[in-house]
Amino acid sequence: MDKMILQGMEYYGYHGVFPEERKLGQRFYIDLELSLDLREAGEHDDLNKTVNYAEVHELVKGIVENQSFQLIEALGERIASSLLDTYTSVNALTVRVTKPHPPFDIHFKGVTVELHRTRK
């Protein structure tokens, strides 16, 4: 199966267990791997035969920036289900949600959850 990969999409959202995270907000990074057949789009050079990644970006932006979740797992789940509901040509997907600066008194580059979902 072919893949469309969107890497390092950056958004500002209000997600976290702690009240200050949901009040002050922070940056989140989203990576997507969409599994779909890209043959017709490639053969015909036709945007209508693929998934428009600018639209995907806007859909994800709306979720990350306009909704609030305690867990990045829930954020990832909402992104995955919304993409599968919106784009019927996507057979499976992987969503990675990275919180680069979690509010812990330890030093690391961030925490990432990765979800794999397939069409039922």
- Catalytic center residues: 99
Token pair, residue 7, equals 């890497």
What is the pLDDT at residue 110?
Answer: 85
pLDDT band at 107 (very low <50, low <70, confident <90, very high): confident
Identify the pLDDT of residue 60.
Answer: 98
E-state strands within 19-110: 26-35, 92-99
For residue 10, the surrounding DSSP H or E stretch is strand 3-13
Res 109 pLDDT > 90:
no
Sheet bearing 3-13, strands edge to edge: 3-13, 26-35, 92-99, 111-118
Sort 88 into a burial class: Cβ within 10 Å, 0-12 / 13-18 / 19+.
exposed
Q: Cβ contacts of residue 14 below 8 Å, gap of 6+?
A: 21, 22, 23, 24, 25, 68
- All domains in the chain, ordered by first residue: 3-118 (3.30.1130.10)
Q: Does the pLDDT of residue 48 top 90, yes or no? A: yes
> Considering the entire predicted model, what is its pTM?
0.94
